Amino acid sequence: LYPASTTKIMTLILALETLPLDQTITIPKAAADVPEDSSVVPVTPGERMTVKDLLYGLMLRSGNDAANAVAVLCAGSVEAFVERMNQRAEQIGMKDSHFVNPHGYHNAQHYTTAWDLALLTLHGLSMPAFVDFLHTTEWTLQKTSRREPLLIQVSTDLFKPDSLFYYQGAWGIKSGYTRAAGLCYVGCADRDSKRLLAVVLNCRT
């Protein structure tokens, strides 16, 4: 099935392995090379910010622009980063997955399975920095030359106590949607000293 923006779990893992969080980077031109209906942070080519702010934009705003920026910063080009994504998928044992971009915008050759996404997420959960990012539901991006400070938040109803869908102990990890992929979600919850991981793809409600 199509993973939509749950793809960004892989992008985050590779970024955390490659880029120091406190490093100040310049957003590359590739950040602007996303389809018009993409979700964006937004980040702008030439804008300077920390890696940490860029990755929060990737995960909390699900920015396709941020995903392309991460790809170039990590591997020199989007294409080289995608190769790295597929290599890592093979190492993890994701036998039924293939990536063609770092963000999950629809492509018929960009696919995975719920099982493979679970394997990927379990790999991420072994990294303390990954867990720290996914426990954060809001973050203020520091002021840059292109904008004022920007508060970004996760809107997932699972985390809201007044929501019909609230689930005690739920946190992370990544939602996604395209018309072809449907509603997708990789979620985690801690309760009674147990950790539960759920992967749901191709939901229509």
Q: Where are the beta strands (DSSP E) in 90-158?
A: 138-141, 150-153
Out of 8, 39, 97, 175, the active site residue is 8
* 174 among known catalytic residues: no
CA–CA dist 121, 176 (Å, integer): 15
* 126 among known catalytic residues: no
One-letter amino acid of 69:
A
Out of 39, 52, 62, 174, the active site residue is 62
- Scanning the structure block, which residue is given the tokens 């909390």? 60
- Scanning the structure block, which residue is given the tokens 């790809």? 71
Cβ burial 20-31 (10 Å sphere, 16+ → b, else e): eeeeebebbebb
* 8 among known catalytic residues: yes
Q: Pick the closest to residue 41 from 136, 141, 133 (CA basis).
A: 141
Cβ burial 33-72 (10 Å sphere, 16+ → b, else e): ebeeebbbbbbbeebebbbbbbbbbbbbbbbbbbbbbbbb
CA–CA dist 143, 49 (Å, integer): 8
Q: Which residues are catalytic?
A: 5, 8, 62
